[in-house]
Amino acid sequence: MKNPKPATITFFLAIVISIAAAMTHFFLERHGQHALFLFVLIFLLSYFFIYNSLQIFIYRKIKLIYKSIHNLKLGRDTGFSEHLGDDPVADVENEVADWGVMKKREIDELRRMEQFRKEFLANVSHELKTPLFSLQGYVSTLLDGALEDPNVNRVFLEKSAKNLDRLCTLVEDLNEISQLERGDIALALETFDINKLVREVFEGAEVKANNRNITLSIKKGTDTAFNVLADRERIRQVLTNLIVNSIKYGKESGETTVGFYDMDENILIEISDNGIGIEEEHLPRLFERFYRIDKSRSRDVGGTGLGLAIVKHIIEAHKQTINVRSTPGIGSTFGFTLLKSKDR
């Protein structure tokens, strides 16, 4: 019998004890009426004592254990929700099983976060080390005599300046992500036309696009005003990052297209390219800090590896979502939503 109740356990024990006593008396005295009377009496007495013993010495202890488990799950030291049923053993068993599953999930999450922390520290160290070592080499060379050589000194100083700029950008991006995560940056919400803002970003990225012969355009059928309520400069930062990325990683003589879609309360903005695409295995981690699909190629085209992480934090600060879909050899599409403005 699986998970018997106290009354069931008591009944069977009382029956066994009563039968044993009655049969013993019957064989000794050979008197059926006395044996039957003894059976009933012993059954009632044993049932009463066994049942109360179970309640006092076993099930009350189990209830105390249940209280402790329940309170720990709720994160408190006192108080108890009286929802323990008639079968406390089964209830406690279920609670312990649920608790075990919950703790396993917590441990798995802690391990994942620990791995993420290790990767983050390793990435930060690597990103800082590269420009610092370059700077150290250039400065040491200049101090060793190259400073007096007009054919070398300016070149080395310019390279040192580029590495300093890279360091400054990295520190600024790290600081910005920290502020976004802590919620220290207040959003300056205003109503503006997202279509117009995209065209402004197009103008700023025109030189980069021309260098790779990439066409920047608004998707046909969506080239109209779409008013949103958001932080204009933060969204400019999002659009700039996504559009410039599509230029960097798009194919030569390709195309970057931005489309707008009315989603009832929100406006969906999608930035698409017909570039190299991204393997499916990389998509879940694409918005992580310092995550690079092709580390060597990423460093060739520049960037700190924090751009998409910042983009994600900015969109989430607006209480909106961002996603990506991609097919290798066909292209990628980044989409995010913004709240539609009620102002006309």
Shared domain check, 198 and 154 = no
List of E strands, 70-206:
189-193
The yes-or-no verdict on residue 327 having pLDDT over 70 is: yes
pLDDT of 88 over the 60 cut: no
Range of the domain at 43: 6-86
Residues 198 and 289 in one domain: yes
The answer to whether 271 and 292 have CB atoms below 8 angstroms apart is no
Report if residue 344 sits inside a domain: no
> Phi, psi (5° rounding) for residue 192?
-155, 165
215-218: strand order across its sheet: 215-218, 255-263, 266-273, 331-339, 322-327
Evaluate whether residue 231 is within a structural domain: yes
Q: Would you say 335 and 268 are in contact if contact means Cβ atoms under 8 Å apart?
A: yes
Contact 278, 291 (CB under 8 A): no
What beta strand segments (E) does the chain contain? 189-193, 215-218, 227-231, 255-263, 266-273, 322-327, 331-339
Instruction: Indicate the residue among 152, 182, 212 that finishes a domain.
Output: 182
Confidence label for 285 from pLDDT (cuts 50, 70 and 90): confident
**CB environment 168-196: b (16+ within 10 A), e (fewer):** eebeebbebbeebeeeebeeeeeebebbe
Angle between helices 88-143 and 153-182 (to 10 degrees): 160
Q: Taking the model in full, what pTM does it have?
A: 0.62
Q: For position 103, what pLDDT does the model report?
A: 77
Structure-model confidence comparison of residues 160 and 72, the more confident one:
160
| Dihedral angle, C-alpha 77, 80, 81, 82, nearest 10 ° | 160
Kindly report the number of other CB atoms within 10 A of residue 42's CB atom. 18
Domain total of the chain: 3
**Range among 175-189, 192-206, 279-293 with highest mean pLDDT value:** 192-206
What distance in Å separates the CA atoms of residue 84 and residue 319, rounded to the nearest whole number? Answer: 40
The predicted model gives 250-264 an average pLDDT of 91
Do 125 and 210 lie in a common domain?
no
- Between CA 315 and CA 307 the distance in angstroms is 12
Query: Is there a single domain that holds both residue 174 and residue 206?
Result: no
pLDDT value of position 81: 47
How many C-beta atoms surround the C-beta of residue 331 within 10 A? 23
Q: Count of CB atoms within 10 A of residue 130's CB?
A: 15
At 236, give phi and psi (nearest 5°). Answer: -60, -40
pLDDT digits (tens, 9 = 90+) for 154-195: 888 888 888 888 888 788 878 888 888 777 778 899 999 999
Spatial separation of the C-alpha atoms in residues 270 and 261, rounded to whole Å: 8
In a domain, 93, yes or no: no
Share of the chain above pLDDT 70, in %: 74
Which pLDDT belongs to residue 78? 44
pLDDT band at residue 80, thresholds of 50, 70 and 90?
very low
325 and 263 within one domain = yes
130: domain CATH number? 1.10.287.130
Tell me, yes or no, whether 77 and 139 share the same domain. Answer: no
**Which of 30-34, 246-250, 314-318 is the least confident region?**
30-34
Q: Is the pLDDT of residue 300 over 90?
A: no
Q: Is 95 exposed, middle or buried (0-12, 13-18, 19+ CB in 10 A)?
A: middle
Q: Is residue 210 domain-shared with residue 176, that is, in the same domain? A: no
Least confident of 61-70, 142-151, 162-171: 61-70
